[in-house]
Amino acid sequence: MLDPVKAWHEEHMYFSRLLRLLRKEVEVFHGGDAPNTQLMLDIISYLREYADQYHHPREDEAFRRLVALRPDRQLPLARLMQEHRVIARAGDELARMLEEIDAGAIIQRADIEEAAAIFLVYYGNHIAREEEDILPLAGRLLQEPDWIAVKDAAPAGNDPLFGAEPLERFRDLRRRIEAEAA
Ligand SMILES: [Fe+2]
Ligand SMILES: [Fe+2]
């Protein structure tokens, strides 16, 4: 089995890259130019489809197992699980606004910026706390059967963006990410 903590960390690095890209587009918008709403929607839809469907359910399973082993960490772990739901809702809200802009609706710049800031700040802090507090703890405490259960919590998740065969509709986003990294 691939080192599960390393794989977990790598996903966080991918998500962080996407959040940086999203933040750049929000800054374009803040500067008064038209943002690339399609790119922003692609980022959010990837995060909803992959992170919300696979990454977060797997983490929820890991967190439940960590709570059983370390009841003293119950509070921060429960908070992280709750944040998965908040992140999903904040992403939905931001996507809804961007879709409305695409459909020609006039939306206050401040409203979009606020929705984007909530999503970006929440998500960024969430990942940072997992990286600092939880991954090292999981690496020490979880055993092989735990990691199997974690993977099985959301089986067969092919990453449609960063995986070996990205989906057609994520090709633009993938190219953009590769250009940023170069
Ligand atoms: Fe998480
Ligand atoms: Fe995470």
Write out the chain's pLDDT in tens, 182 residues. 579 999 999 999 999 999 999 999 999 887 878 888 899 999 999 999 889 989 999 999 999 999 999 999 999 999 999 999 999 999 999 999 999 988 888 888 889 899 999 999 999 999 999 999 999 999 999 999 999 999 999 877 678 888 888 888 888 888 888 888 77
Residue found under tokens 């980022």: 43
Which residues are placed with Cβ below 5 angstroms of ligand 1, an ion? Answer: 59
Proximal ligand: closest to the CA of 15: 2
User: Letter for the amino acid at 35?
Assistant: P
- pLDDT at position 157 is 65
Distance from the alpha carbon of residue 127 to the mean position of ligand 1, in angstroms:
6
pLDDT score of 177? 86
**Helix 4-30 to helix 109-129 angle, to the nearest 10 degrees?**
160
Write down the domain spans for the chain: 4-181
Distance 127 CA to ligand 2 centre (A): 5
| Plot region of 38 (φ>0 → left; ψ -120 to 50 → alpha; else → beta) | alpha
Q: Which ligand is nearest to the CA of 87?
A: 1
Residues lining ion ligand 2 (Cβ < 5 A) are 130
- For the record, the structure tokens of 119 come out as 């999503």
**Measured in angstroms, how far is the CA atom of residue 104 from the centroid of ligand 2?**
34
* Domain 4-181, CATH: 1.20.120.520
Gap from CA of 77 to ligand 1 centroid (Å):
10
Residue type, 24: K
Distances (CA, A) of 83 to 52, 71, 178: 11, 19, 29
Whole-angstrom Cα distance, residue 165 to residue 143? 30
Instruction: Please tell me the distance from the alpha carbon of residue 151 to that of residue 147, in angstroms, as a whole number.
Output: 6
Tokens 């929705």 correspond to 115
